[in-house]
């Protein structure tokens, strides 16, 4: 009995248990509401179904959240990722739209390289502001968040740029080995970031910088360089996510592309168990958090929740996830249950004997 209770407490205390439980509950609720929710079918060599759509649509958020996880683990934050998505998508679509043959693979690769180059420069700009000049991360990235959105609209001249390029469209809607290419790109990015941060000393260095940057510097770690590279990585991940977002609709809208994705990315990181104060980070938790957010969005549409109440519904679910995941809340709730007084029992006192 004690072994069973110990295993149960260990399982419940795992950082991924409650997010995974919430995801399972949402999937079960959707299945009850719509029995074919989890069905997947193979058609023309491609997998189709709501679970595949959830994975495909969550791919851009997973990419942005991966970069955000590394930035937050250094003790910073990147509010400019949404504008970065818009800029990269605008540059790629604008270049492709000006070419006579939009289906040419070299044209698409050139457009992607140009957009990635600009993303590297913008990520380096954030890194310099934070790591070199010493501006607070929320202020430094807020600058690019506002200015970057205007830059994206300048690139598109305030218009929605539409393209007709099959190679570019394949980034968001293409299939490889029966799976959407977007899922494979997100998986490859997760494996690559995980390999560099968990199979080398880089992950420990990032966590030490986030825990105490000054102590890490005194220990011989170049904290500024680590922080700089974190913002560059975040910019690259956001750029690739921008390619997916614009490829899904074959157009670039500088005003709407990637709008508020930075908030969803931060939320995915927090749901995954990474502290906003920096230090330890969990990539697997971040991916799970992104899946929860996308599943929640799909649930809102599947259950025909009105647009007026959908945001409130999402907020209530997110608050519930964060509360049940917080160890302090669970400890206080458990303590309150265990401290409840036992039911009182009334016993008759022994009668006094009256001396004769």
Q: What is the mean pLDDT of residues 313-326?
A: 75
Q: Has residue 343 got a pLDDT over 70?
A: no
Q: How far from each other are the two terminal CA atoms of the chain, in whole angstroms?
A: 57
User: And the tokens for 323?
Assistant: 């509360």
User: And the tokens for 34?
Assistant: 């719509």
Residue 72 · residue 289 · CB < 8 Å = no
Q: Has residue 9 got a pLDDT over 80?
A: no
User: And the tokens for 244?
Assistant: 């997916």
Q: List the single range of 138-147, 271-280, 314-323 with lowest mean pLDDT.
A: 314-323
Q: Has residue 131 got a pLDDT over 70?
A: yes
Reported confidence tier of residue 341, pLDDT bands at 50, 70, 90: low
Q: List the single range of 160-169, 214-223, 284-293 with lowest mean pLDDT.
A: 214-223
The whole-number pLDDT of residue 353 equals 47
DSSP summary character for residue 104: -
Calpha distance 297→313 (Å, rounded): 10
Q: What is the mean pLDDT of residues 3-29?
A: 79
Could you tell me how far CA 180 lies from the centroid of its own chain? 19
Q: What is the mean pLDDT of residues 66-94?
A: 95
Percent of the chain with pLDDT over 90: 57
Q: Domains in the chain, start-ordered, CATH in brackets?
A: 49-321 (1.10.3470)
Of residues 351 and 223, more confidence is placed in 223
Q: HEC profile for 197-228?
A: HHCCCHHHHHHHHHHCHHHHHHCCCCHHHHHH
Calpha distance 58→50 (Å, rounded): 12
Could you tell me how far CA 178 lies from the centroid of its own chain? 25
Tokens 């248990």 belong to residue: 17
Q: List the single range of 14-23, 30-39, 174-183, 335-344 with lowest mean pLDDT.
A: 335-344
Q: Has residue 352 got a pLDDT over 60?
A: no
Q: What is the mean pLDDT of residues 168-173?
A: 94
Question: What is residue 109's three-state secondary structure?
Answer: helix
Residue 31 · residue 38 · CB < 8 Å = yes
Q: Would you tell me how many other CB atoms lie within 10 Å of the CB of residue 128?
A: 15
Calpha distance 297→150 (Å, rounded): 28
State residue 346 phi and psi, 5-degree precision. -95, 125
Reported confidence tier of residue 319, pLDDT bands at 50, 70, 90: confident
Reported confidence tier of residue 97, pLDDT bands at 50, 70, 90: very high
Q: Has residue 305 got a pLDDT over 60?
A: yes
The whole-number pLDDT of residue 140 equals 94
Residue 351 exposed, middle or buried by CB count within 10 Å (0-12, 13-18, 19+): exposed
Calpha distance 256→82 (Å, rounded): 9
Residue 123 · residue 64 · CB < 8 Å = no
Residue 192 exposed, middle or buried by CB count within 10 Å (0-12, 13-18, 19+): exposed
Reported confidence tier of residue 294, pLDDT bands at 50, 70, 90: very high
Calpha distance 179→192 (Å, rounded): 19
Q: List the single range of 85-94, 125-134, 233-242, 334-343 with lowest mean pLDDT.
A: 334-343
Q: Has residue 350 got a pLDDT over 50?
A: no
Calpha distance 45→18 (Å, rounded): 36
Reported confidence tier of residue 219, pLDDT bands at 50, 70, 90: confident
User: And the tokens for 299?
Assistant: 């649930």
Residue 227 · residue 216 · CB < 8 Å = no
Q: Has residue 57 got a pLDDT over 90?
A: yes
The whole-number pLDDT of residue 220 equals 85
Residues contacting 310, CB < 8 A, separation 6+: 300
Reported confidence tier of residue 14, pLDDT bands at 50, 70, 90: confident
User: pLDDT averaged over the chain?
Assistant: 87
Rounded to whole angstroms, the maximal C-alpha distance in the chain is 122
Q: What is the mean pLDDT of residues 230-258?
A: 94
Tokens 């491609």 belong to residue: 46
User: And the tokens for 142?
Assistant: 């807020």
* H/E run at residue 176: strand 175-176
State residue 38 phi and psi, 5-degree precision. -95, 5
Reported confidence tier of residue 213, pLDDT bands at 50, 70, 90: confident
Q: Has residue 345 got a pLDDT over 60?
A: no
């Amino acid at each position: 009995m004690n072994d069973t209770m110990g295993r149960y407490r260990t399982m419940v205390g795992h950082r991924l248990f409650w997010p995974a439980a919430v995801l399972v509950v949402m999937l079960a609720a959707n299945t009850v509401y719509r029995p074919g929710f989890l069905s997947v079918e193979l058609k023309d060599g491609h997998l189709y179904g709501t679970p595949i759509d959830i994975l495909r649509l969550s791919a851009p958020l997973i990419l942005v959240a991966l970069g955000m996880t590394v930035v937050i683990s250094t003790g910073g934050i990147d509010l400019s990722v949404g504008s970065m998505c818009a800029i990269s998508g605008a540059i790629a679509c604008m270049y492709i739209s000006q070419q006579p043959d939009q289906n040419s693979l070299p044209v698409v690769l050139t457009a992607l390289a140009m957009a990635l180059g600009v993303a590297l420069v913008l990520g380096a700009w954030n890194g310099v502001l934070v790591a070199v000049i010493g501006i607070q991360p929320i202020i430094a990235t807020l600058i690019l968040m506002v200015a970057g959105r205007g830059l994206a609209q300048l690139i598109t001249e305030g218009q929605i740029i539409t393209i007709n390029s099959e190679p570019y469209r394949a980034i968001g809607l293409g299939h490889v080995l029966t799976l959407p290419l977007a899922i494979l790109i997100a998986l490859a990015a997760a494996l690559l970031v995980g390999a560099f941060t968990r199979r080398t000393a880089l992950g420990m260095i990032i966590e030490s910088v986030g825990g105490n940057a000054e102590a890490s510097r005194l220990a011989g770690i170049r904290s500024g360089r680590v922080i700089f590279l974190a913002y560059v990585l975040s910019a690259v991940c956001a750029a690739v996510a921008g390619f997916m977002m614009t490829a899904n609709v074959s157009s670039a809208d500088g005003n709407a592309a990637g709008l508020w994705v930075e908030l969803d990315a931060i939320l995915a990181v927090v749901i995954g168990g990474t502290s906003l104060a920096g230090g330890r980070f969990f990539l697997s938790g971040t991916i799970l958090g992104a899946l929860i957010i996308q599943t929640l969005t799909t649930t809102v549409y599947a259950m025909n929740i009105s647009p007026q109440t959908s945001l409130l519904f999402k907020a209530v679910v997110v608050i519930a996830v964060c509360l049940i995941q917080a160890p302090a809340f669970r400890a206080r709730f458990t303590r309150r249950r265990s401290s409840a007084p036992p039911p009182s029992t009334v016993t008759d006192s022994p009668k006094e004997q009256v001396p004769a």
